[in-house]
Copies of this chain bind each other. A is one copy, B any other.
Amino acid sequence: MKYVYLFEEGNKDMKELLGGKGANLAEMTNIGLPVPPGFTITTQVCTHYYQNKETYPPSLEEEITSNIEALEKKMGAQFGNPKNPLLVSVRSGARASMPGMMDTILNLGMNDKVAVGLAEKTSNPRFVYDSYRRFVQMYADVVLGVELEHLLEEKKKKLGAKSDTDLTAADLKQLVDEYKKEVEKNGKKFPEDPLDQLWGAVGAVFSSWNNERAIAYRKMYDIPADWGTAVNIQVMTYGNMGADSGTGVAFTRDPATGENIFYGEYLMNAQGEDVVAGIRTPLPMEKMKTENPQIYQELEKIRKKLESHYKDMLDIEFTIQNDKLWMLQCRVGKRTAFAAMKIAADMIDENLITDKQALLRLDPEQLNHLLQPIFDHNQKEKSLKEGNLLAKGLNAGPGAATGRVVFSAPEAESWAKRGESVILTRIETSPEDIKGMKAAKGILTARGGMTSHAALVARQMGKVCVAGCADLDISYADKRMTVKGKTVKEGDWISLDGTTGEIMDGELETKPSEIIQVLLEKTMDPKESEAFQDYDKIMKAADRYRKLKIRTNADQPDQATNAIAFGAQGIGLCRTEHMFFGEGKIGPMREMILAESEEARRAALDKLLPLQRADFEGLFRAMNGFPVTIRLLDPPLHEFLPHEEKDQKEMAEGLNVHHDKIKSRVRDLHEFNPMLGHRGCRLGISYPEITEMQARAIIEAAVNVTKEGIPVEPEIMVPLISTVTEFEHQETVVRKAAEEVIKENDNIKLKYLVGTMIEIPRAAITADEVAKTAEFFSFGTNDLTQMTMGLSRDDSGKFLGMYQDTGILANDPFQTVDQTGVGELMKICVAKGRAVRPNLKIGICGEHGGDPKSVEFCHRIGQDYVSCSPFRVPIARLAAAQAALR
């Protein structure tokens, strides 16, 4: 077993063994870049260390000794040799980057004798004793657990020195002595032998793998504890050896915009720490071109070489020591969504990568950012600095919104009508609020999670939404809320950052993204927008590879039109109930609910029929031949009745019935667990005339639009079935109504499907029965997750966070399909369903349809399509392509 690798012996693909830093140092060494020599102790040693009561493998000592000898030979220097001492850095380096989480030791190899010799040799005693002082302080802190910083402060105070640089070589030498005495007072001893120093440092780095910060970080980023860290031992280089020395950090392209320029900062006569400390202002790379053209040229060559070698944008660190350039680190650079898109698109053009590589490299989730309105970054920072942050909630609908607070949907509508930007602020929202939500720029709620009504509708509408902010104490009666002591009244300006969940006092400017301007607002010529060009190139590439079709969840023609602009190939879920809140529809709907006989119900339904039909016609026209899946009435009826006394009275007057009748109907409809109550197909079975009306409206609309010459492909979906008998009941009602309409229209040729949502575990587990009659399945993974996991999305906010923090759940199952549990049911369902109906069309229309990991899962289990809210269509397109390519 080999535990130590010289940089010459590794390469960039050995990250598991050498960690990220070690692997990249090895790679740079081997492609001939100037890397200070060194070697890496592998992650296997770390694993061994923890599995064997913090001891090392026996052969490690010899390996380290011989590698140090190799370094000594290469450098013509020796550990502890005062005339030509070897000084090294000891740094951690895990497989995944964990910046700042673990310990580092610099200047290792210093001792009293070496300091004397080196001072002589460099004629720079101050530099030497400064390095020595830093080393002893770092070593005592990290390895020996003795804090020495306070002695430095005392020394400076005593000598009236403002900064470290005011201390002389002699001061520093004395400080080193005082440091060592303090260490001894603490019962420890600073080792003078560099090899002893080395073993201490290596042990400290391994130990730091399990410090609290590192553990917390790993949990947060889901990094397994058994990966372990490597340790990199590398010859020291110094950027603070004078005017011909320096240090810098750069990106091979602009990480914010993606522009193909050398982007970064450097500082002469400085160490990395100085740049970080911000004492002196670093210069842009551009400046080096004229200030230090030779090094710049060298770096520019290295930049090109690295990019053509790694085929990606990189983040590098370098040191200049006496005019000699050394590379200390390189890794793939983080970037904004815009930069990611541009770099991917550019690199295809530059023939650096293929379109497949470009697709696999992008994070689908980031596409979100490209579509959302944005705050001006500086203005927002300024506002935060001025203390305008009111509170933080869940970042439920990304983007930026600013407007005046209103506390009710009707008010949101009327304010918006007179041209005001409003933020609709509610304890929680319900379907009654839909029109108000549509009128608002942003939606803010005090209750509910990432898949609450507010969040769900907001994302479908592409609205900014901050949900479940428990700090809001809202009083509808007083039209005001208090937030951590501050009072916000109706009409006050606030701003929501739906990407971060921040709620800010006051007005901030926003603007739509370029892609929205091109695709939806059509206020920008596509040719003028580079961002759009890049987006378009990537999306077209995604469409070439993906196997899944992408549909959208939409119930209004404008949503459908938007979704098509984003690339949707059909509607996967039209929630008909949303339509009942439209103009003139809620009245007859309520009449229907209050009806005490089938006859009275039918009378109310007769009023709804033409309105629904018109809605469907609009959708069919917008979709222009794409399939449209329409779900029959789903929510419990009480959702259509007002719950506030005042609204009930108003309704009573409107319908000319007694207030008590409405009150008593609301009470009758109350349920302990409405999620598991009288809803979905259970309504259609209780009142077949509702299903009949809806089926008739759908088919009549399809007939009318067909007659206009527009192709139509309606798919009628029965919600919430648990048993095949429920489906059969509803299917019979639907087909009877449909065939009647077709007959009334001279047997017009019209293809329509009748299928069902799979959202109850029983339906999934008995899919072989259901598929005998159902022509398609659509997974309603919101409810399927709730029931399979016994978890209410509206209530689980109280503990889901804790569940994720403690590792009980890896993900929020309402965001990403729980593949082990819910996914297993889905697999069983697909297998059983296709066993009896091989061509069974299978999709998903839960919120998960827009989640990249879930899209990949849907691809893997053989679904035909995914359906998501319009603004997530591009995400789903990219995720589907990645799934197909993986």
Q: Which residues of A contact B (CB under 8 A)?
A: 671-678, 680, 682, 685-686, 720, 722-723, 725-726, 729, 759-762, 765-766, 769, 783, 786-792, 794-796, 798-799, 802-803, 806-809, 818, 820-822, 824-825
Contacts and interface: CB of A to CB of B under 8 A. Distances in A.
A128 B754 CA distance: 63
5 contacts: A722-B790, A762-B790, A766-B821, A787-B787, A787-B788
A818 B762 contact: yes
B792 A676 contact: yes
**Most B Cβ at <10 Å: residue of A686, A803, A806, A822:** A803
A530 B799 CA distance: 59
Contact of A795 (B677, B799, B818): B677
Pick the 8 closest A-B CB pairs, nearest first. A676-B792, A762-B821, A760-B790, A673-B792, A677-B795, A671-B795, A761-B761, A672-B794
Contacts of A799: 678, 682, 685-686
Contact of A720 (B760, B790, B794, B818): B790
Nearest to A807: B725
Contacts of A766: 820-821, 824
Contacts of A673: 673-676, 786, 792, 794-795
B672 A809 contact: no
B821 A786 contact: no
A118 B663 CA distance: 73
A760 B678 CA distance: 21
A485 to B, nearest CB: 17
B723 A809 contact: yes
B725 A808 contact: yes
A675 B760 CA distance: 15
Nearest to A680: B790
A690 to B, nearest CB: 14
Contact of A765 (B686, B806, B807, B825): B825
A354 to B, nearest CB: 39
**Most B Cβ at <10 Å: residue of A795, A798, A822:** A795
Contacts of A791: 676, 722
Nearest to A448: B672
| Stoichiometry (number of copies) | 2
A789 B722 contact: yes
A556 to B, nearest CB: 26
Contacts of A808: 685, 723, 725-726, 729
Nearest to A798: B678
A825 to B, nearest CB: 6
A707 B824 CA distance: 48
Contacts of A794: 671-673
A820 B769 CA distance: 10
A725 B789 contact: no
Nearest to A672: B794
A722 B818 CA distance: 11
A674 B788 contact: no
Given A673-B676, A723-B820, A726-B808, 6 more contacts: A672-B675, A673-B792, A676-B796, A685-B806, A722-B821, A760-B790
A669 to B, nearest CB: 9
A647 B272 CA distance: 65
**Most B Cβ at <10 Å: residue of A675, A762, A818:** A762
Contacts of A809: 723, 725
Nearest to A824: B765
A827 to B, nearest CB: 10
A450 B720 CA distance: 23
A680 B790 CA distance: 11
A729 B676 contact: no
B723 A677 contact: no
A307 B633 CA distance: 59
Contact of A790 (B787, B792, B825): B787
Contacts of A760: 788-790
A676 B790 contact: yes
A794 B685 CA distance: 19
A384 B675 CA distance: 41
A760 B685 CA distance: 27
A818 B725 CA distance: 14
Given A678-B798, A821-B765, A759 B790 contact: yes
Contacts of A678: 795-796, 798-799
A799 B783 CA distance: 20
A760 to B, nearest CB: 4
Contacts of A783: 790
A760 B822 CA distance: 11
Contacts of A686: 798-799, 802
B788 A677 contact: no
Nearest to A728: B808
A821 B677 CA distance: 18
A760 B792 CA distance: 13
Contacts of A795: 671-674, 676-678
Contact of A821 (B680, B723, B802, B807): B723
A789 B722 CA distance: 6
Contacts of A792: 671-673, 675-677
A822 B722 CA distance: 11
A767 B803 CA distance: 20
